[in-house]
Structure 1
């Protein structure tokens, strides 16, 4: 039965209440994903869950001034309960490199290409 006092967005929370807290706020995560979606689109790539998660892992590592290789990205995703195979992660990293979104550093770690960082407005 329709109730005009309930939100129509599928949420059970009344308007004006917080859905999440801190870094796990769903609205913040969507905003971050929108940045990554824009980045992929600007490089002519489709958005996929694995690309979003891999780029997010690299961004998180960069914010912590760490670098991640294939194993590091894979471990990070497993820690987040995202069950992707090592080979899938490696192939996504390879494809993002070939498209110029990320670069393979001499120490075998990955980072955003300067053009991609500029598209995300980070230094």
Structure 2
């Protein structure tokens, strides 16, 4: 495929242009600085970090800060609003797994919230 920015004289790189990697200056798309503490939380519960787990827990934390409670549909809607294309079923399965592992709790009103032990881990960060 033709690239108009590359020279046509057969040389590999244009003069005066560094081809060094500058990706370390950028964070991954959608990553927030607070995600590191969620990673530590997941690790403390023996869970691997995945993007969907990060996003689901972050959505619950954001809702809790606003004194809101989210069910499966609420979490899914919030993720869609953030342009995180996850299926409803994927969100539901992640919520179930996080409940089974004790990271979050399923409340009587069918909403989810962070388990007190998980909140304690986050607050110690």
Cα shift readout 1:44-92 (whole Å, capped 9, x = no counterpart): 0000000000000000000000000000000000111111000000000
Q: In the alignment, what sits opposite 1:90?
A: 92
Do structure 1's residue 109 and structure 2's residue 122 form an aligned pair? no
Q: In the alignment, what sits opposite 2:48?
A: 46
Q: In the alignment, what sits opposite 2:10?
A: none
1:27-42 alignment runs, 5 A limit: 29=32, 31-42=33-44
Alpha-carbon distance in structure 2 between the residues aligned to 1:111 and 1:42: 18
Tell me the TM-score normalized by structure 2. Answer: 0.76
Q: Could you say which structure has the larger radius of gyration?
A: 2
Higher percent of residues as helix = 1
Do structure 1's residue 61 and structure 2's residue 63 form an aligned pair? yes
Tell me the TM-score normalized by structure 1. Answer: 0.78
Aligned residues: 106
Cα-Cα RMSD? 2.4
Any unmatched runs of 5+ in structure 1? Answer: 13-18, 20-25
Alpha-carbon distance in structure 1 between the residues aligned to 2:24 and 2:44: 32
